[in-house]
Amino acid sequence: MFKLFKSKEQKIADARAEIEKTFQDFMEGEGRLPEGFSEPYIRITSFGLVLNDTPFKAYLDTIKADVDRLNDDTGISDWFYLDESVEINAAAVAISDWVKRYKEMETMLSEKACIDRKTTVITPAFRHCGGKVMVVIDNKRRYEGITEESIERCKAEEISFCTVLSDCKLYDLIEHKEKEITYVTYPNYHDETYANWSFK
């Protein structure tokens, strides 16, 4: 019995070490954003926690000031910026491959974490790709050179490109549609006011 117990403990330790190394290697290699992409829309708290923000923080802060809690109902988990150093189709291929690989790695580590039916090792937290990915570009005309193949690759991984029109509006280049921030408020159980915001 003791040997069986030690064997299981060793399996857990080995799995944890392998997962942590695989995660670290990925984040220092393939997990880095492709060339031309960056994350200007993030905040780091005093505790070192990284929060994904949006290009509309100033406007959303005015809504937050009037409610007790503001919930993001857009389905967008990541806001990235694409500079002009990379051609649009090359960028579309790179970001779609990156998102796909990111999701594959998260799935693979979750599978490695299952030691048996009753034992699961806690995996490191992946910060990206929990929902849609929105890529901000400055020049709408730059997007005109994108091919249908590139668009389909992005759609398959829930990626879109946009330009920011104002403090509360964007133009979704894949959907060819202008969208504006809207929100609805509702009471919570404790006499608080909550709000959900999205794009319409």
Residue 17: both structure tokens together: 């070490």
Distance in angstroms between the alpha carbons of the first and the last residue of the chain: 62
78 vs 71: CA distance, rounded Å? 15
144: phi > 0 → left, psi -120 to 50 → alpha, else beta; which?
Answer: alpha
Q: Confirm if 136 and 162 have CB atoms less than 8 A apart.
A: yes
The answer to whether residues 180 and 186 touch, using CB atoms and an 8 Å cutoff, is: no
pLDDT in tens, the chain (200 residues): 444 555 788 888 999 999 999 999 999 999 999 999 999 999 888 887 888 899 999 999 999 999 999 999 999 999 999 999 999 999 999 999 999 999 999 999 999 999 888 889 999 989 999 999 999 999 999 999 999 999 999 999 999 999 999 999 999 999 999 999 999 999 988 889 999 999 99
**Distance (Å, whole) CA 21 – CA 101:** 17
CA–CA gap between residue 76 and residue 170 (Å, rounded):
13
Question: How far is 71 from 185, CA to CA, in rounded Å?
Answer: 10
Helix 88-112 with 2-28: angle, nearest 10 deg: 170
- CA–CA distance, 170 with 179 (Å, rounded to integer): 5
Q: Give the single-character DSSP code of 48.
A: -
Provide the pLDDT for residue 2: 44
Q: Quote the tokens at residue 191.
A: 């006499």
Quote the pLDDT of residue 117.
84
Structure confidence at residue 71 (pLDDT): 97
Q: Output the pTM of the full model.
A: 0.90
Strand ranges for 8-118 from DSSP E: 37-38, 42-44, 50-52, 69-72, 76-82, 114-116
Burial of residue 173 (CB within 10 Å: 0-12, 13-18, 19+) is buried
In the DSSP assignment, the letter for residue 141 is: G
